[in-house]
Amino acid sequence: MSYIGKEPQVGAYNMLDSLTASATASYSLTLDSTAFVPESANHLLVSLNGVIQKAGSSYTVSGSTLTFSSSLASSDSIDFVLALGNVLDIGTPSDATVTNAKTNFVSTSSAAGLQIKGDNTTAGTLQLNCEQNSHGIKLKSPAHSASASYTLTFPTTDGNADEFLQTDGSGVLSWASAGGITHYWSASRNSGQSVAQNTATNILWNVVTTATGITNTLTSNGRITIPSGGAGWYVVTAINRYADGPTGGKEKLTIQWYDTSASSTESIGYAEMNTSGTYDTKVASGLKYLDVGDYVYVQVNQNNDSSANFIGGNGTGFYGFKIA
């Protein structure tokens, strides 16, 4: 029910330890033998020789020291010192009195909703207990010497089986497959492809066995393109078998890498040799960091036959996989 008049205040009221008057004006305030520091002199009710004293003039407070306006005598009696506490200070809550509704912490753009502090020796630690509160696990801040200040933002879903949390380097977490090869491809030809003299020619792969985790246009222009989430170190291998190799000149096999950031093309694998006849086979391989948007493809060239030379079917392939 509502109150008529001024509603009573709620505070942490404590009768402080008894004080014995002597020939001094200053006395140390304690509660259960521990130094007590009131918020101000106005938060104390002091009785001396049966008379309530006026805060600020009859006595003052500094820290845990109460000082009367003049020295007392041993015949004086400090009847009591009652600490009124802070207004609305309820002291230490009883067990199970703080409900979920009372711990509705709100975060802002400048402050966390809940901060767990260290004690100058131990870093801030959050413990999650078992249902019987007999044991639990802890999340602990790095040591002060690390000067660590960062935020981890969790994914919007709980992920799939066998996935782990990975960061993008800015604290944004996402789920990724744990272990195994996640980005790879395998392509080949089951029929020949002509290569004109002194003409760099992309091999078009008409059999794509697998192309996982990457974007491929292997049949149209022979390319493998690295999509979002696929950047990393790749092992890339190409094999070409010339089915119509003449006896003179040279045949070349090159794995080409287009670097999106530099808008330039480089070779990451190269093989060249003098031809010795039909069915010459060449192998090129390379290890390269491929970024998002980069692409790789295989080119062949021959300078020894004015008529078309042919890429063979069996023994011609393009393979790659991400290792890290």
Strand ranges (E), 189-279 = 193-195, 201-202, 207-212, 215-217, 223-225, 232-242, 250-259, 264-274
Residue among 141, 92, 86 nearest 115 (CA): 141
DSSP 16: P
Q: Give the start-to-end residue ranges of the domains of the chain.
A: 14-83, 184-322
Q: What pLDDT score was predicted for residue 93?
A: 74
Which structure tokens are listed for 258?
Answer: 């287009």
Of the pLDDT bands very low, low, confident and very high (cuts 50, 70, 90), residue 85 is confident
Pick one of 3.30.870.10, 3.60.150.10, 2.60.120.40, 2.60.40.2550 as the CATH number of 184-322: 2.60.120.40
Out of 83-97, 122-136, 137-151, least confident range: 83-97
Sheet holding 59-62, edge to edge: 26-28, 65-68, 59-62
pLDDT tens digits, residue range 219-276? 999 999 999 989 999 999 999 887 765 556 778 889 999 999 999 999 988 887 666 5
CA–CA gap between residue 289 and residue 67 (Å, rounded): 75
pLDDT tens digits, residue range 19-47? 999 999 999 999 999 999 998 999 999 99
Q: Say whether 284 sits in a helix, a strand or coil.
A: strand
The answer to whether 270 and 204 have CB atoms below 8 angstroms apart is no
Residue among 55, 27, 25 nearest 41 (CA): 55
Q: What pLDDT score was predicted for residue 157?
A: 94
Of the pLDDT bands very low, low, confident and very high (cuts 50, 70, 90), residue 2 is low
pLDDT tens digits, residue range 271-306? 876 665 567 788 999 999 999 999 999 998 888 777
